[in-house]
Amino acid sequence: MSIKVTIDGKEVSARDGDNIIDVAAENGVYIPSLCYVKGKPCLGTCRTCSVKVNGNVMAACTIPVAEGMEIEVNEPEVTDMRKALVELLFSEGNHNCPSCEKSGRCELQATGYEVDMMVSRFPYRFTPRVVDHSSKTIFLQRDRCIFCQRCVDMIRDEKTGEKIFSIKGRGTHARIEIDTDLANEMSPQQVREASDLCPVGCIIDSTQGYDDPIGKRKFEVKTIRDRALERTHR
């Protein structure tokens, strides 16, 4: 069923039940997101897609559109909130882009550019996080994890459906864990899928290094904004 909503004051039609990120993208409005994957159940963990819905701040990936909904995306206050959320992620983990294999194809980095982040307004914490190299297929670079939980929900053992990744501990003690035995059973395709799904450089395919030269890397060839809009804007 087709309904009408407004995005930044402009009336658009949308399919009832679609979430705000998809509806906005179909109408050429980019909303950054680090946990939402189109076609998969929403996780709502990163909050980077926060927008104003009828005046209230909400995560766009979690909200299905409804008739008459007034959505504000590029409104100054909520735009700055999204930027602050990205800055928080940069100061919470250790995001050393110059030494990261994922640089140039990292969604967090690409989103930092989209929200015009030059520096984080929050103090950089430099929390020591232990790297896990116990699996043969995957290097787990915990410094870079943003706890989006994409891998936890979407990457499962192909035979049993068991989770391969999990989050252990709470709050500042939380850390991403990998089931080494299950990880060693992963096919090269599934390893690559997990590595590509990770929005940062936390899940590193052990066979993949700095493969693409600077200037030819994923988000340099096409920005994350253009990719997000292209996926739905046909």
Positions in the binding site for another protein (CB under 8 A): 90, 94-100, 103-104, 109, 112-114, 116-120, 123-124, 126-129, 214, 223
Nearer CB in complex with another protein: 99/189 = 99
Nearer CB in complex with another protein: 73/182 = 73
Q: Write the single-letter amino acid at 225.
A: R
Torsions phi, psi for 183 (to 5 deg): -65, -35
Nearer CB in complex with another protein: 1/119 = 119
CB of 115 to another protein, least distance (A): 8
Helices (H), the chain: 20-26, 76-92, 107-114, 150-154, 180-185, 188-197, 218-221, 224-232
CB of 145 to another protein, least distance (A): 15
SS3 12: strand
Nearer CB in complex with another protein: 19/103 = 103
Q: How far is 203 from 144, CA to CA, in rounded Å? A: 9
Structure tokens at 131: 């790297």
Q: What is the dihedral of CA 105, 106, 107, 108, to 10 degrees?
A: -150
CB of 223 to another protein, least distance (A): 8
Nearer CB in complex with another protein: 30/165 = 30
Q: How many residues does the chain have?
A: 234
CB of 117 to another protein, least distance (A): 8
CB of 165 to another protein, least distance (A): 23
